[in-house]
């Protein structure tokens, strides 16, 4: 995107075209202005417009420019925090609400894809959270037990069944989450944008919001070449936030994450590696993830930024790690390589913010934004439509606060991943 082959990689190469849009030019009026064209903004826009609201969505660059166009495409159910720990972290009311909402969030994604016939390579075959060693196995056993006790469709698989599904015997077991799946992330974002436009939303791209003004109970949202007046503003800018809501970005620690997509694998490899097309990630601290795309490319990722020395280090590691996992893959060629920034919060949970009267937003999905962004977008729409009071929202209201040593932590993540990947499989 924007002539950078390492920003959106494979997803840009294979996604259907977005709707035709142009920069905001002149003055407009709406019920709601949405800032940000990722899953949160697009889902809010779609749900509001379907309920009859007049909506203008302003995107700084292009639809899916942020995490929505760069991610792995795992439609996860739930967060990193263990299900039984969540009520302790958020309090019992919000904890249970969030578990229920996020556990069912992949279902909403799949329903929207069906309803709006979004061509985004959806696979409904679940995800496999793969255990590395005895500690990893203990972690997924606990997770499986806790989700099962809540009636979730998860199953613990032993090492042999995991090896059959993955095509590698590297793991001591896995947690199959049948609620989850995979998709082509940019195609999903662009599909939501088409559906939103059809429902009546006006989308302006290349329109970064640079300021706001309050006049007589309404907001004026300004870009360099125009302005929109509205009663409500939804801030859906998350980790790529610029302009007036810089605090959304600065309350997060950015974790770089890359992906390499192989050339389409041959018939035999496609029969042995992920024949069921589940999405995978592992329990390592510097985790790896992989999934197939529709054409049989293996998309393999981990922590790190593909810039400066990181490019060669992570590329070399990815080749070695793939060969170790799947010896038959040989010296596989990469067709695309890209990376993005994941916004992490200090308790690994998302945030609900009210920046001013009538200015609201969710953010901070900790690398799990496809399903949460979609469901929180709908939640924001329901809140604005008066159907969901603040007291009934799935998260408590908090003020953005910058974590200590944020910049140092970001340097540490980027450099630490390079050191780990340089050493891994060499020493
Ligand atoms: C490499 C990577 C891998 C990931 N893997 C997964 C995964 O497998 N599964 C999963 O569920 N999640 C994953 N995520 C996380 C997921 O992509 C994000 O949580 C999700 O995209 C957040 O959606 P959003 O709509 O809130 O924000 P975004 O998708 O980031 O969209 C925000 C948008 O706001 C725009 N914007 C910012 N400031 C302004 C402004 N001033 N004016 C106008 N527009 C503005 C940006 O340009 C951007 O397009 C991953 C993220 C990354 C980076």
DSSP designation for 180: -
Cα–Cα distance measured from residue 151 to residue 356, given in angstroms and rounded to the nearest whole number: 39
Q: Which two tokens stand for residue 162?
A: 């995991």
Give the contacts of 213 (CB within 8 A, at least 6 positions apart).
219, 220, 222
Residues flanking ligand 1, CB < 6 Å? 35-41, 58-61, 65-68, 70-74, 76, 208-209, 236-243, 257, 340-342, 365, 367-370, 373
Among 36, 299, 307, 336, residue to substitute to test ligand 1 (most atoms within 8 Å of Cβ): 36
Tell me the pLDDT tens digit for each residue of 344-354: 999 999 999 99
Q: Which residue has the higher pLDDT, 197 or 216?
A: 197
Question: Pairing mode, if any, of strands 55-58 and 32-35?
Answer: parallel
Residue 64 CA to ligand 1 center (angstroms) comes to: 7
Give the contacts of 117 (CB within 8 A, at least 6 positions apart).
none
CATH hierarchy code of domain 5-126+179-422:
3.50.50.60
Domain boundaries, the chain: 5-126+179-422, 127-178
Residue 293 CA to ligand 1 center (angstroms) comes to: 20
Phi, psi of 199 (to 5 degrees): -80, -5
Tell me the pLDDT tens digit for each residue of 198-218: 999 999 999 999 999 999 899
Residue 427 CA to ligand 1 center (angstroms) comes to: 36
The pLDDT of residue 1 is 79
pLDDT at 307 over 70: yes
Cα–Cα distance measured from residue 101 to residue 236, given in angstroms and rounded to the nearest whole number: 19
Among 237, 255, 310, residue to substitute to test ligand 1 (most atoms within 8 Å of Cβ): 237
Residue 67, classed as helix, strand or coil, is helix
The pLDDT of residue 426 is 62
The pLDDT of residue 3 is 78
Whose alpha carbon is nearest atom 15 of ligand 1? 367
Residue 71 CA to ligand 1 center (angstroms) comes to: 8
Tell me the pLDDT tens digit for each residue of 225-236: 999 999 999 999
Q: How confident is the model at residue 425 (pLDDT cuts 50, 70, 90)?
A: low
* pTM for the predicted model, two decimal places: 0.98
- What's the mean pLDDT in 239-256? 96
Residue 170 CA to ligand 1 center (angstroms) comes to: 31
Distance of CA 60 to the CA centre of its chain: 18
28: which strand partners?
Answer: 228
Residue 246 CA to ligand 1 center (angstroms) comes to: 15
């Amino acid at each position: 995107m924007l002539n950078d082959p390492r920003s959106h990689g494979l997803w840009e190469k294979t996604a259907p075209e977005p709707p035709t849009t142009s920069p905001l030019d002149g003055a407009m009026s709406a019920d709601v202005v949405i800032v940000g064209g990722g899953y949160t903004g697009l889902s809010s826009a779609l749900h509001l417009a379907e309920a009859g609201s007049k909506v203008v969505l302003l995107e700084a660059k292009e639809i899916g420019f942020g995490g929505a166009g760069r991610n792995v495409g795992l439609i996860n159910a739930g967060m990193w925090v263990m299900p039984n720990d969540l009520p302790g972290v958020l309090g019992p009311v919000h904890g249970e609400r969030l578990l229920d909402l996020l556990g069912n969030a992949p279902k909403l994604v799949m329903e929207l894809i069906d309803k709006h016939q979004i061509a985004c390579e959806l696979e409904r075959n679940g995800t496999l959270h793969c255990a590395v060693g005895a500690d990893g196995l203990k972690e997924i056993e606990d997770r499986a037990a806790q989700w099962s006790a809540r009636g979730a469709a998860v199953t613990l698989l032993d090492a042999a069944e995991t090896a059959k599904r993955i095509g590698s015997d590297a793991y001591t077991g896995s947690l199959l989450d049948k609620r989850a799946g995979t998709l082509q992330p940019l195609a999903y974002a662009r599909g939501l944008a088409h559906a939103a436009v059809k429902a009546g939303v006006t989308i302006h791209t290349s329109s970064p919001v640079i300021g706001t003004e309050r006049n007589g109970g309404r907001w004026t949202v300004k870009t360099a070449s125009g302005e929109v007046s509205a009663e409500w503003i939804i801030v859906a800018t998350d980790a790529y936030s610029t302009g007036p809501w810089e605090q959304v970005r600065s309350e997060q620690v950015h974790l770089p994450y890359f992906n390499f997509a192989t050339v389409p694998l041959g018939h035999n490899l496609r029969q042995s590696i992920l024949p069921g097309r589940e999405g995978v990630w592992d329990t390592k601290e510097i985790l790896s993830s992989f999934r197939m795309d529709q054409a049989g490319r293996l998309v393999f990722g981990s922590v790190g930024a593909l810039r400066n020395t990181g490019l060669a280090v992570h590329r070399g590691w990815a080749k070695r790690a793939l060969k170790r996992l799947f010896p038959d893959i040989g010296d596989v060629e990469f067709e695309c390589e890209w990376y993005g920034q994941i916004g992490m919060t200090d308790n690994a949970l998302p945030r609900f913010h009210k920046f001013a009267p009538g200015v609201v937003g969710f953010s901070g999905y900790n690398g799990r934004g496809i399903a949460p962004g979609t469901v929180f977008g709908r939640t924001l729409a329901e809140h604005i439509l008066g159907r969901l009071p603040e007291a009934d929202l799935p998260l408590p209201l908090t003020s953005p606060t910058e974590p200590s040593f944020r910049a140092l932590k970001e340097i540490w993540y980027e450099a630490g991943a390079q050191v780990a990947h340089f050493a891994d499989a060499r020493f």
